[in-house]
Structure 1
Amino acid sequence: MTTLTFAAAQSISIAGDLAGNIARHQHFMQVAAEQGVQLLVFPELSLTGYERGLAAQLAIAPDAAVLQPLRDFAREVGVTAVVGMPIRLSDTSPVLIGALTLGADGSLGVYSKQHLHPGEEVAFAPGSGGAPLIIGADTIALAVCADFTHADHAAMAAQSGAGIYAAGVLITAKGYDPDTALLQGYADAHSMVVLMANHGGATGGWESAGRSAVWASDGSLIAAAAGTGNQMVVARRNPAGWTGEVLVVEPA
């Protein structure tokens, strides 16, 4: 069994503050690098906050220059980061909920949320998903929030050969138990490790539950944050199996 370390970044986003949120992401990435993390997954729309009303004015092309410092930092510290951002694929295309993979090798991957929650259609259009990530011998399928509420999304990820299913989300206290039951069930049903990166605080008028988590491929819990706040849930695989750790990420 090869070694692998990945983590859920339970970050707090400030509404519309792209520059400030980039700096906060860099701090998380620095902490991740110090922990030997290879893949760091942030919550849904982590770079802007879950702000439907601001999405149209904040939406960018995935390769926009404003994200170049963050891409450069990912390469500098050697951490592949999946960050959330409203995106447009062309000047005239609709706004999508994007999960952008900023590769430690300088590459850029684009995933767009396929399934919208009721009400999201006022600000966003459904996306088309994206290719899985490959890190060493591991295949990682991405999901953004409502994607995972469709059982066929996780099933297709497993059929594609993914051994890890990584979801950036915004889940409230009311939705936490049913949503995490789904994710834990996918881990067991499809023999996939499942990661859930939730917001660390309120965003877009919603109170996040935090409690980001990682489940092993038999559905057992590897690690979970105890509540809200800036935290990092780290999962490490070594020849003996999986171990987990939760770190409080202090402000820079």
Structure 2
Amino acid sequence: MFPLTIAAAQSISIAGDLAGNIARHQRFIAAAAEQGVQLLVFPELSLTGYERGLADELAIVPDAAILQPLRDLARAVGVTAVVGMPIRLSDNSPVLIGALVLGADGSLGVYSKQHLHPGEEVVFAPGAGGEPLTIGTDTIALAVCADFSHASHAAAAACQGAGVYAAGVLITENGYVADTALLQGYAAEHAMVVLMANHGGATGGWASAGRSAIWASDGLLIAAATGTGSQMVVARRNSEGWSGAVVAVEPA
């Protein structure tokens, strides 16, 4: 079993402040590199905030030049980063909730949210998902928030051979217990490590619960953030198994 280090970026997004949020993401990517992280996953719509009213205006094509500094940094420090962004696959296509995979090798991958939360259909169209990632010998499947509320989504990831199921989310206090029970259950049921990256602060009129977490493939908690705030939850695997840590990340 090869070593693997993954992390959930519990970042704080400022509404519509793409430049500022990019700077905050750069801080997280740099901090992840210091921790030897290979895969860093950000919350749903992390680069704009969960701002449905701004999504049409802010949506970009995945390879837009504005994200090049993030792509360059990810490649320079050797961290694959999954960032949340409203996207269009072409200039006139519907807006999707995207998770863009900025590869440590300079590649660009696209995952789009398949299962919308009620109310999101006013702004967004359902996406088509995306191919699993490969890091070393590990297969990682992605999810965005309401995707994981469908048991079939996690089951499909397991059928694809995923050993890690990584979700960028926005979960409030009211939904936290039920949602994390689902995620923890998937870990045990499908023998997958499950990562949940939640927002570190309020966004889009919703108060995030924070408490991003990573569970081992037997369902046991590896590590979780304490409440809200700018934190990174890290899980490391070596020959002796998994260990976890929580690292504070100073906002830009």
Aligning the two structures, in what range does the TM-score lie when normalised by the shorter sequence? over 0.9
Quote the residue 1:193 is aligned against.
193
Distance in 2, matches of 1:77 and 1:238, equals 21
| In 2, Cα distance between equivalents of 1:135 and 1:147 | 22
State the identity as a percent: 83
Partner of 2:49: 49
Q: CA deviation at 1:179?
A: 0.1
TM-score by length of 1: 0.99
Amino acid at match of 2:76: E
- Quote the residue 2:223 is aligned against: 223
1:250 alignment partner in structure 2: 250
Q: What is the CA RMSD across the aligned residues, in angstroms?
A: 0.5
Written as runs of structure 1 = structure 2, the 5 A alignment for 1:199-238 is 199-238=199-238
Deviation at 1:247, TM superposition (A): 0.8
> Which residue of structure 2 lines up, in the alignment, with residue 104 of structure 1?
104
Please give the alpha-carbon distance, in whole angstroms, between the structure 2 residues aligned to 1:214 and 1:78. Answer: 21
Aligned-pair distance for 1:226? 1.1
Give the deviation of 1:251 after TM superposition: 2.7
CA distance in structure 2 between the aligned counterparts of 1:154 and 1:233, rounded to whole angstroms: 21
Give distance in 2, aligned partners of 1:125 and 1:216.
33
Q: What is the alpha-carbon distance in structure 1 between the residues aligned to residue 251 and residue 93 of structure 2?
A: 37
* 8 Å contact from structure 2 (residues 38, 78) kept in 1: yes
For the residue of structure 2 that corresponds to 1:31, the secondary structure is helix
| Deviation of the 1:248 alpha carbon | 1.0
State the partner residue of 2:128. Answer: 128
SS at structure 1 position matched to 2:174: helix
Offset from partner CA, 1:138-179 (integer Å, 9 cap, x none)? 000000000000000000000000000000000000000000
For 2:140 and 2:92, the matched residues in 1 are separated by: 31
Match of residue 11 from structure 2: 11
> Aligned residue for 1:21?
21
Structure 1 unaligned spans of 5+: none
Quick one: distance in 2 between partners of 1:100 and 1:24? 16
Deviation at 1:103, TM superposition (A): 0.3
Name the amino acid aligned to 2:8: A
Once the two structures are superposed, residues 54-81 of structure 1 have per-residue CA deviations (whole angstroms, 9 ceiling, x without a partner) of 0000000000011111100101111100
**Local SS of the residue matching 2:115:** coil
1:177 counterpart = 2:182 = no
Give the structure 2 partner of residue 89 of structure 1: 89
Cα deviation, residue 44, structure 1: 0.2
Give distance in 2, aligned partners of 1:73 and 1:242.
27
Letter in 2 for 1:84: G
Residue aligning to 1:138: 138
Q: Distance in 1 between matches of 2:229 and 2:251?
A: 11
Unaligned runs of 5+ in 2: none
Distance in 1 (CA, whole Å) between partners of 2:12 and 2:34 is 20
* Whole-angstrom CA distance in 1 between matches of 2:134 and 2:2: 14
Structure 1 position 91, deviation (Å): 1.3
Deviations 1:69-118 (A, max 9, x none): 11001011111000000000011110000000000100000000000000
The answer to whether the 8 Å contact 2:27/2:250 transfers is no
Alignment coverage as a number of residue pairs: 252
CA distance in 2: counterparts of 1:234 and 1:100, whole angstroms: 20
Q: TM-score, normalised by structure 2?
A: 0.99
Describe the SS at the equivalent of 1:204.
Answer: coil
